[in-house]
Amino acid sequence: MPDTRPAPAAAATTESQIAVHWREEEYFKPSPKFVAQANLTDPAVNERFAEKNFPECFNEYAEMLTWYERWQKTLDTSDPPFWKWFVGGKINASFNCVDRHLAKYKNKAAIITVPEPEDEDPVAVTYQELFVRVNEFAALLRDFAGLKAGDRVTIHMPMLAELPITMLACARLGVIHSVVFGGFSGEACGLRAADSGSRVLVYMDGYYRSGKLIDHKASAEIAVATAEKEGQKIDKVLVWRRYPGKYASAAPMVKGRDVFVDDVLKDYCGARVDPVPMDAEAPLFLMYTSGTTGKPKGCQHRTGGYMAYVTGTSKYIQDIHPEDTYWCMADIGWITGHSYIVYGPLALAATSVIYEGVPSYPDAGRVWRIAQRLDVNIFHTSPTAIRMLRKAGPDEPKKYHYHFKHMTTVGEPIEPEVWKWYYHEVGKDEAVIVDTWWQTENGGFLCSTKPAIDPMKPGSAGPGVPGIYPIIYDEKGEEVKAGSGKAGNICIRNPWPGIFQTIWGDRDRFVRQYYAKYNKDPKSKDWRDWPYFAADGAVLASDGYFRILGRVDDVINVAGHRLGTKELESACLTVPEVAEAAVVPVVDEIKGRVPEIYIALKPGYAPTKEITDRVIATLETMIGKIARPKRVHIVPDMPKTRSGKIMRRVLAAISNTLDTGDITTLANPDIVEQIRVAVQGKEKLKTQEGPEDLKQFGTVD
Ligand code: WTA
C-alpha cells in the first residue's frame, strides 16, 4: 500500500534541503504479455552499459543504423565540453529513415495523418510514397531554392505529413532544419530565422484547429519582416497548401519570393536525389528553446550521435517494433516530436501517427476514437494532456476498443494521482508506462524505467537509462546521496551521443549555462570533470529512482524550506473535485515566500468555500503546515500556452501584482483578465517591481 501518512519531518528540514513530500508509491509491474514481446528483456543491458564499458557501450546504438563509413573513434574528448561522437563516421539521416526500409517495408505505412475534420479520412503515406515525396521535395530544395549541405532552413508548419517530409528532404541534402512550433507567432518565427541565418522559409497556407481553418500563411509576412529587421533577408517562402490547388490564406503571395510547393513540384516529378553522406558530427537540426533570459537558444544537434541515440532509446525504452502503430501526441515543433515522432520511430520502420488540431475537439472522445480506428498500440503524451483529458472526459477511454501495450509520459513531473488515472483508465490496466525525463538539449531520454525490466513507480521517472549516469549535487557541489530524502540539482556525469553540440553561435553561453556550475577544472580533458547541469531539482530514492521536481526556479522557498510546486499541486489533485491545480509563490513578510493556489474544478462542480477549506486541510495533512497557502483561488480555467502548459508565470504575476508580461501567445488570453479581477478586484492595481525569483518564476520551460 502507498504510504499516505502526513510528512513527519516537514518542520525539521534544514536550510539546504528542499522538502519533498510526495509519498513513495508502491511498484507496478509490467504484464507478462508485454514482457513476452519486448525488445529489451535481458538485464545484462545494465552490465553492457555500465561505466567500465563507457563510451564504447554506445556503439550498440550506432550499429542499429546504416553507415556509409564506420566511425574510427566512439568519443573524442579533446575539446571539452564540446564532445564529438562516432568520429570519422559518414551517415545520412534521411536514408536511415526512408531508403533502407524499402526492401522490406515499402508498402507499409510510414506516416498516418489524421486530419481534424472527422469527415476527412486518415491518410497513410507508405515508405515507398515517403521515399518519392522526400526525393521530389529534396530536388526542389536543391535545384529551385539553391540549398546545399550546411545551409539553414526555417520551417513553420502545422502537424501534417508535409512537415516530416520537409525535414527529411533537408536531412537528405545535409541542410540544417530549424522547425519553429506552428503555434508560435510570425515574430517568433522571424527571430529564429534571423538567428539561424535562414534565407528560405517553408510554410503551410492553413490548417484546422478547433473547427476553424486557420490562416497560417498570414504569419509569414510578419516572419519575413521581423527577420529583415534583424538583418536577415528572406529570398524564398515555399508554401505547401493544405488542399493542393486551393489556397487557404488571405495573405497575398509575393511575386519572386513566394511559391506554392504543389505548383513547383510538378517540375520535379520522378526526381531522385542521392542522400549526401554527412560527417557524423555535421549538424542535423536546430531546435530553439527558451532560457531564463529573453533570447531563445538554438540547440544544435549532430547527425550521427543524435540518430544513434534516438534510435536506440526508441527501440529499448519506447519498445518500438516495425509492426507497431505508434502515436506520440506531441507537436513535431518540439524536441519530443523530432526525436520520437520523426527520427526515432522512422529509423525503426514503425508506423508513426500524426494528427491535426487539438485533443479535445470536437469532443473529449477524439483521442480514443483515433486510437481505436488506427489500432494504435504505443501511445505517448504529456501530463498536461493527461490531466486535460481526465478533466474533459474521465470516463471516455472506456467507451472505445483500443489496446495500448505501452504508454509514455514526458515533459513535466506527473502527479501519482494522474499517473494512476493514466494507468487504469487510459491504459486499461494493460499498458506499461514509462515516465521519461529529458530536455531539448538532450536529444533523447535521460531517466526512465526500462519497460520490460524495471517496475514502475508512480511519480518517479526511474533510474538513468542505459549509459546515462545521473548524480544529484547540492549547491556546494557535494553529492546528495540516495535515500537521504534531500533534493538537489540533477546532473549527468558523462557525455552521451544525444547531447547537443552547442548553442548555435554562442559557445560561451553553452559552456556557462550547462557546464560551468559543477566543472572541476576548466583545463581538464577528462569527461569526469564536466558534469552536465540540467537545471532541474530532483531527489533520489534508495531504490535508485529519480523523482524530478521541476526546474530549479519552479521551487518555492517557504521559510527556508523549498517546496516543489508539483508536490503541492499533486496534493490538491487528491481532492476529488479538483481537475487542475497550479501553485505560485507569493511574497510573505514573515516566511519569505508562501504558496498560493489556483484550482480548476471538474465539470459539474460549483466553487464553494467548503472545497477551498478542504484543499487547505489536504495540504496541511499531506505536506504540513508549512505548505499552508496564503489563498486558494477557484478559477474557470488556467492560462495556457498553445501547447497546453499552464502559465504559472502569469498566475504568479497576478498573485504578486506584477506585470503579466506578454500574454498574446496564450491559447486563452481572455482568461487572464477574468482571473485578475477575481484575485485583485475590478480596479486595476498598480503593478510592482517584483523580486528577481518571482520575475523568473516559471519563465524557463
Ligand atoms: C521537464 C521536453 C518531470 C524538466 C522533453 C525539464 C520533466 C524540462 C520530465 C525540459 C519528466 C521533462 N518529469 N519533468 N518526465 N520531462 N521535464 O526542453 O523540468 O521542453 O528540464 O524537453 O521539462 O523541457 P523541454
Ligand 1 nearest atom to the CA of residue 554, by list position = 19
Whole-number pLDDT of residue 160: 97
Task: Pick from 20, 297, 536, 645 the residue to mutate for probing ligand 1's pocket: most ligand atoms within 8 Å of its CB.
Answer: 536
Q: Which residues have CB under 6 Å of ligand 1?
A: 289, 335-336, 410-413, 435-440, 461, 536, 548, 550-551
Whole-number pLDDT of residue 14: 30
**Alpha-carbon distance 640 to 648, whole Å?**
9
**Alpha-carbon distance 365 to 367, whole Å?**
6
pLDDT digits (tens, 9 = 90+) for 229-244: 999 999 999 999 999 9
Whole-number pLDDT of residue 463: 98
Ligand 1 centre to CA of 434 (Å) is 14
> Is residue 701 over pLDDT 90?
no
User: Which of 10-19, 361-370, 488-497 is least confident?
Assistant: 10-19
Ligand 1 centre to CA of 252 (Å) is 39
Helix residue ranges, H only, 432-558: 507-514
Pairing of strands 278-279, 283-289: unpaired
Task: Pick from 548, 549, 566, 642 the residue to mutate for probing ligand 1's pocket: most ligand atoms within 8 Å of its CB.
Answer: 548
Q: Look at ligand 1, atom 3, and give the residue with the nearest C-alpha.
A: 413
Whole-number pLDDT of residue 627: 78
Whole-number pLDDT of residue 8: 33
**Alpha-carbon distance 380 to 339, whole Å?**
12
Q: Look at ligand 1, atom 5, and give the residue with the nearest C-alpha.
A: 439
Q: Is 592 left (phi over 0), alpha (psi -120 to 50) or beta?
A: left
Ligand 1 nearest atom to the CA of residue 440, by list position = 18
Task: Pick from 184, 387, 437 the residue to mutate for probing ligand 1's pocket: most ligand atoms within 8 Å of its CB.
Answer: 437
Ligand 1 centre to CA of 303 (Å) is 23
Whole-number pLDDT of residue 388: 84
Ligand 1 nearest atom to the CA of residue 435, by list position = 15
Say which residues have a Cβ less than 8 Å from residue 63's Cβ, sequence separation at least 6: none
> pLDDT confidence of 561, banded at 50, 70, 90?
low
Ligand 1 centre to CA of 468 (Å) is 16
* Interior/surface letters 332-361, b for 16+ CB within 10 angstroms, e for the rest: bbbbbbbbbbbbbbbbbbbbbbbbbbbbbe
Phi and psi of 16, rounded to 5°? -80, -5
Strands (E), 466-571: 470-473, 487-492, 502-503, 532-540, 546-551, 555-558, 561-564
Whole-number pLDDT of residue 516: 94
**Alpha-carbon distance 468 to 459, whole Å?**
20
Pairing of strands 123-126, 109-114: antiparallel
Higher pLDDT residue, 640 or 297?
A: 640
Q: What is the length of the chain? A: 701
* Interior/surface letters 625-660, b for 16+ CB within 10 angstroms, e for the rest: ebbebbebbbbebbbbbbbbbbbbbbbbbbbbbbeb
Whole-number pLDDT of residue 7: 35
Ligand 1 centre to CA of 436 (Å) is 8
pLDDT digits (tens, 9 = 90+) for 70-125: 999 999 999 999 999 999 999 999 999 999 999 999 999 999 999 999 999 999 99
> Is residue 502 over pLDDT 90?
yes
Ligand 1 centre to CA of 109 (Å) is 30
Ligand 1 nearest atom to the CA of residue 551, by list position = 19
- What integer best gives the mean pLDDT of the chain? 90
pLDDT digits (tens, 9 = 90+) for 628-646: 899 999 999 999 988 888 8
Only one residue has cell 508536490, namely 567
Helices 565-572 and 609-622: angle between axes, nearest 10 degrees: 130
Beta-carbon count within 10 A of 535 CB: 20
Predicted structure pTM score: 0.82
Ligand 1 centre to CA of 100 (Å) is 32
Q: Average pLDDT in the 166-171 region?
A: 98
**Alpha-carbon distance 219 to 231, whole Å?**
18
Full DSSP string of 215-228 = E-THHHHHHHHHHH
Q: Look at ligand 1, atom 8, and give the residue with the nearest C-alpha.
A: 439
Which cell is 391 given?
Answer: 478533466
Nearest to 593 by CA among 679, 697, 686: 697
Q: Average pLDDT in the 291-318 region?
A: 87
Whole-number pLDDT of residue 665: 82
> pLDDT confidence of 536, banded at 50, 70, 90?
confident
Q: Look at ligand 1, atom 24, and give the residue with the nearest C-alpha.
A: 439
> According to the 3-state scheme, what is the secondary structure of 317-367?
CCCCCCCCEEEECCCCCCHHHHHHHHHHHHHCCCEEEEECCCCCCCCCCHH
Helix residue ranges, H only, 235-303: 261-265
Only one residue has cell 481505436, namely 372
Helices 218-229 and 186-196: angle between axes, nearest 10 degrees: 40
Beta-carbon count within 10 A of 490 CB: 30
What is the longest distance spanned by two Cα atoms in the chain?
73
Cross-strand pairs, 526 = none
Which cell is 674 given?
Answer: 477574468
* Interior/surface letters 675-693, b for 16+ CB within 10 angstroms, e for the rest: bbebbeeeeeeeeeebeeb
**Alpha-carbon distance 693 to 658, whole Å?**
12
Whole-number pLDDT of residue 554: 62
Only one residue has cell 535515500, namely 483
Q: Look at ligand 1, atom 25, and give the residue with the nearest C-alpha.
A: 439
- Distance from CA of residue 83 to its chain's centroid? 23
Pairing of strands 406-410, 378-381: parallel
Cross-strand pairs, 238 = 202, 259
Ligand 1 centre to CA of 556 (Å) is 18
Ligand 1 nearest atom to the CA of residue 447, by list position = 15
